[in-house]
Amino acid sequence: MPREIALLDALVPGLFLVFLASLALQWALDWLFGRFGLYRHVWHPPLFRLALFACVFGGLGLIAMR
C-alpha cells in the first residue's frame, strides 16, 4: 500500500482508506449488535464501540500494510 494517496490534489495518508473502511465496518457491526440486543450484555456500550473500532482499524491496518 502506498504511503500517500493523491486525493483532490491533496496528499492523504494511505491509512485514510483503511480508516474509511473501518468506519463502514464499524457502522455495520454497530447496527448488528443493536439489532440483536448484544449491547445489553456490555458494561459500557460507548467504550465497547470505541474498543471495537480500535480493534477493527488495527486489524485492517495490519492486513493492508502487509
Q: How many domains does the chain have?
A: 1
> What pLDDT does 19 receive?
93
- So what's the pLDDT on residue 7? 81
Three-state DSSP at 28 gives: helix
pLDDT above 90 covers a percentage of the chain that reads 70
Count CA atoms closer than 13 A to 20's CA, side-chain side: 5
Q: Cell match 494511505: residue? A: 14
Question: Residue 37: which domain range?
Answer: 4-64
Q: For residues 49 and 63, what is the distance between their CA atoms, to the nearest angstrom?
A: 21
19 φ/ψ angles, rounded to the nearest 5 degrees: -60, -45
H/E stretch holding 13 = strand 10-13
- Give the model confidence (pLDDT) of 40-64 as tens digits: 999 999 999 999 999 999 999 999 8
Task: Give pLDDT, residue 46.
Answer: 94
